[in-house]
Structure 1
């Protein structure tokens, strides 16, 4: 192990912290000094990677918190620095000079395209995959290419795959990992399941014979109970299944025990199922899982609530049609009169192609309760045009400044939703706290 790379990472982190900065710079420096830093480390406990299009930040953070509730020392990149440099920062800044990682468990959120740069170089115990959807075409390209990049490093993987059994796009990974064992999580048919999927979806074809998959029901997008009419590919038997789903009370049942989660929406239920699968696989006490749910931190901007007096603002990230549709379903359930701010950016981290807004059901916002929608961000005009084409009839406007957009919404309603793309998320959060005086 290069002691210099560990020293450089820890020293640079200390210096950056003194000036109020952090991020992936320490890892970048360490990798420049020793490109093989990760492969030389010694781990004393399980290493868990979490990836997928939607939900990886929330899922990784909940897994980390669950192990902490079980009394374990955990290393995690909780702030979401999920590229190789950020992951290297998280690990090396908690590594002893002899190369031993100073933790009982490592839980690392990893960008989908970076799995191939991380998984082969550290002893991964479990790879958790939440789902795969079309996302950021200019960066990640078509979903098929993204999945292929992950499949390319699986033939020699000997750990565990923790896969969303209701997503054929994740289940297919097991076909490329003959040395791994697979654990499947999912959700059975429930009151929210639908027989016909009307949302934009990818991967509805069998990965073995390319036949169109038959669905008994859908939960959302292409997530559901499927089978191939021409071969044996189908929804696998669940190792962990959630039942008795109630999206109003946010409750669910596992092994005859009812839990209540802190987050809203069906997509959150799948995140809970993924965490529960990790709990069972690593024999974490169910009490730690329950304690985590009761005290789960919300990642900044992921269904984050801000309140002052009678006013409430809820901030959410949107970045692709499927994730955005799930956020819109939650907003649709709110029968209060409300104002909505949509912040649409097209920077590299957002994806420069914003055509995905036409595959998103913004019509879910277009009811009598939504009194005002304010569009802002670099592509505010495109967003307003999308709403105009959707025949939104109430107050629709464009604001160049995010602060002004939030201020205008707060002036018109006690209930405000702000939905923002990736690079606008923290800017929007800052605007909310500023305008609310928090």
Structure 2
């Protein structure tokens, strides 16, 4: 059945490509012919899997760039098809009919809930985990259940774990992987670290004894330096520890070497630390790492800027409290006068449970610099109510569509931030470009 599985996937992927489409349908067909096809593939080099709540797409793509710039042929699901069917499409479309994947290195972004289908069935050389936060409760369930689904496939994993050592929810994975070689990355204490936090935090209790964890400092959310007063569980010694963090200049140091982060925010520094950890494991030089950072593309909706005739619009994706809070911090630190449009949808891909907006500090937007906020989307009125309960005293309006929201802003030349949930992101991009005439 391997032959039919690969042939069907390759043929359907080719036909879809011819009409300008992609997606996971070819992989769905391939898996129907052979549900065990992953176990029947052969790889010429390392297979690297990346997962986590926030940052896995950027991290996986930069890891793929890392190997490409090191002279390797890379196969990767760069478009973000990170479920089992999408991964099947990526692998089978790039395999020959004998099941050999035609690449020196394979880099796969994998949805957290799909790790259980991938890790036991592929010869994974390195498993990179960025972070775990509460996200889309109706789909992913409580975070504890999600983490347990990954822990169950770790006891026999005997290759390399590359883990965020500042996230207790990630560090606990090492307890379930006694055969693995573990490499930890993270950030040292810096001028942005805080001794207390009022952000929604998930890493509150020790996974070994259940005692409440204590923190020496927080970087953001539950990410920081932690320890349990009753047992041995604590922040491990970091193999890759970034220091001298400068969020204004987007720079950091590692081993007395200075690097420039291609993106904004503390969370992006962790993505960079993961890239350096992979480079260290696979003996790739810092010069290649710098090239990757210098040429990293701007992901759609991640602080994406549109500028025309003096008007600047910045588009950001939000999908859970922690990621949204980091976006709020970036906006809060911008001294410019601003207008804000928030597009809140509750479709299946967004997560139909929108209670997370009450764990997000939208209060960070509520300064004298914010001249007006317009809300829209399928739950635009709920977003307006959240801002009202948060104490926003400025001009607050609700519109039916993103087009109407942008028209409400009109020709005002103050900087505009558009904040959108997942299904609203591409419609927001389209509307912004149309409004600006780009």
Bucket of the pairwise TM-score, normalised by the shorter protein: over 0.9
**What are the within-5 Å matches in structure 2 for residues 51-70 of structure 1?**
51-70=51-70
Secondary structure of the equivalent of 1:411? Answer: coil
**3-state DSSP of counterpart to 1:378:** coil
CA distance in 1, matches of 2:65, 2:309: 31
Instruction: Name the residue aligned to 2:365.
Output: 365
Q: Distance in 2 between matches of 1:76 and 1:335?
A: 39
5 Å-filtered alignment, 1:298-377, equals 298-377=298-377
Deviations 1:91-128 (A, max 9, x none): 11111121111111111111100000111111001111
Q: Distance in 1 between matches of 2:406 and 2:256?
A: 44
Counterparts of 1:17 and 1:406 in 2: how far apart (Å)? 34
User: What secondary structure is seen at the aligned counterpart in 1 of 2:162?
Assistant: strand
Contact 1:310 1:414 in 2 (8 A): no
Alignment of structure 1 residues 282-301 onto 2, 5 Å: 282-301=282-301
SS in 2 for 1:345: coil
Q: Could you report, residue by residue, the CA deviation over 1:251-270 in whole angstroms, capped at 9, with x for unpaired residues? A: 01111111111100000001
Give me the TM-score of the superposition, normalised by structure 2. Answer: 0.98
Per-residue CA deviation, residues 172-230 of structure 1 (Å, 9 max, x unaligned), is: 00000111111000101000000111111012111101111110000011110011101
Instruction: Report if aligned partners of 2:310, 2:413 keep a CA contact under 8 Å in 1.
Output: no
Superposition RMSD on alpha carbons, in Å? Answer: 1.1
Partner residue, 1:122: 122
Whether the 8 Å CA contact 1:166–1:223 is kept in 2: the answer is yes
Structure 1: how far apart are the matches of 2:105 and 2:311?
40
Query: Does the CA contact (< 8 Å) of 1:197 and 1:218 recur in 2?
Result: yes
Q: Distance in 1 between matches of 2:211 and 2:81?
A: 38
Match runs of 1:214-253 below 5 Å: 214-253=214-253
Counterpart for residue 91 of structure 1: 91
Q: Which moved more, 1:62-71 or 1:325-334?
A: 62-71
Which residue is 1:112 aligned to? Answer: 112
What stretches of structure 2 of length at least 5 have no aligned partner? none
1:368-387 to 2 correspondence within 5 Å? Answer: 368-387=368-387
> Separation in 2 of the partners of 1:95 and 1:230?
51
Residue in 2 that maps onto 1:400: 400
Other-structure match for 1:149:
149
Aligned partners of 2:26 and 2:303: how far apart in 1? 30
Output the TM-score relative to the length of structure 1.
Answer: 0.98
Q: Aligned partners of 1:94 and 1:407: how far apart in 2?
A: 45
1:124-203 correspondence runs (5 A): 124-203=124-203
Report the Cα distance in structure 1 between the residues aligned to 2:187 and 2:72, rounded to whole angstroms: 29
Contact 1:341 1:405 in 2 (8 A): yes
How far residue 393 of structure 1 moved from its aligned partner, in angstroms, is: 1.5
What is the aligned partner in structure 2 of residue 272 from structure 1? 272
- Partners of 1:23 and 1:81 within 8 A in 2: yes
C-alpha distance in 1 between matches for 2:203 and 2:216: 16
In the TM superposition, residue 134 of structure 1 has moved relative to its aligned partner by: 0.9
| Cα offset, 1:13, TM superposition | 1.4
Distance 2:15 2:409 in 1: 40
Structure 2 distance, partners of 1:89, 1:411, is 45
For residue 96 of structure 2, give the secondary structure of its aligned residue in structure 1: coil
Partner SS state of residue 191, structure 1: coil
1:422 counterpart residue number: 422
Cα offset, 1:273, TM superposition: 0.5
Gaps of 5+ in 1: none
Q: Match of 2:213? A: 213
- In structure 1, the partner of 2:9 is 9
Decide whether the 8 Å contact of 1:51 with 1:130 is kept in 2. Answer: yes
Task: Give the superposition deviation at 1:71.
Answer: 1.3
